[in-house]
A = this chain, B = another copy of it.
Amino acid sequence: MSWQVTVLGTNSAVPTPQRSPSAQVLSTEKHSILIDCGEGTQVRMTSFGIKRSRIDCILITHLHGDHVFGLPGLLTSYNLFRRERKLQVYGPKGLRAFVTHNLEMIGTHMNYDLEIIEHNAADPKRIYQDEHLEIRTIPLSHRVPTTGYLFREKIPPRKIISEKATAYNIPYTAMRSLQLGEDWIAADGSTIPNEQLTFPNRTARSFAYCSDTAYREDIVDQVRSIDLLYHEATFLHELEKEADKRMHSTAKQAALIARKAEVKKLMIGHFSTRYKDPKILLEEAKQTFEPTILAEEGLVVEI
């Protein structure tokens, strides 16, 4: 199964009937991860075929309303739906107070295990890993503590050639070491080189989500060569000063990060409401980095 990124909202600041505030869902075989949760996110999940119950983890980039005002509603809906599975919510310091105060004010006691995990937005850090996935924070530069997130699939570097494994009677317990590149010592003491038993695995999938941020050069090394980079592009470059002042990026700046990092594809979003049709932002980005696409409500990007 491929990784899928579903875009739920693309607008900055204020929701409109045409464009919603920030939210995306990364769906993998094992996980369904919501990134940011602007007002109305839970309804758009339903509209765009994302099962709310599948979400096992929510990542918040920063505590601005257009990224977090949909969270109290979603968490209480889980309560009303009698969710039983644990839910982890990650975000910068202050997230726990935001969530607990909202739930206390409306007198809701969660009947499921809700774990809120705060991190220091200034340090790049691995915040989650299991055998399939690793998630790291990407420090961003915005008016409040903000982190992007980097998702890397965890797969062994080699894939086993099954008829060879059968021919040499290699036990199941040894498969992992072969996947990691080790040779095999046969029953007669001879060494079978790993290259005869395996072939190289495909590249692990990767995705990064960077919103909101001023142009920040050190993002480049953290997202180098990844499959898909989502980077905010609130303004056209003619408004570079406005972007600097409000600590946002221009379409050109997003494309510069993508080009320097040599990512495979760039998706831009978080468009200022002033751009009725964000195609103008796409055109600007493409001049610097051609493999750029526009985030659109309901868009599904396969990785």
A residues with a Cβ closer than 8 A to B are 13-17, 20, 39-40, 42-43, 46-47, 63-65, 68-70, 72-73, 76-77, 80-81, 94, 97-98, 101-102, 105-108, 143-144
Contact = CB atoms under 8 A, between A and B. Distances in A.
A121 B76 CA distance: 24
Contact of A80 (B14, B76, B106): B14
21 contacts: A13-B77, A15-B73, A17-B43, A17-B46, A17-B47, A20-B43, A39-B43, A39-B70, A63-B105, A63-B107, A65-B72, A65-B76, A65-B106, A68-B106, A69-B73, A97-B105, A98-B102, A98-B105, A101-B101, A101-B105, A107-B143
**Copies of this protein in the complex:** 2
Contacts of A46: 16-17
A94 B105 CA distance: 7
Provide the main secondary structure of the chain A interface.
loop
Nearest to A46: B17
The 5 closest A-B pairs by CB, nearest first: A40-B40, A39-B73, A98-B105, A69-B73, A17-B47
Nearest to A40: B40
Contacts of A102: 98, 101-102
A102 B100 CA distance: 11
A13 to B, nearest CB: 5
Nearest to A17: B47
Nearest to A14: B77
A180 to B, nearest CB: 46
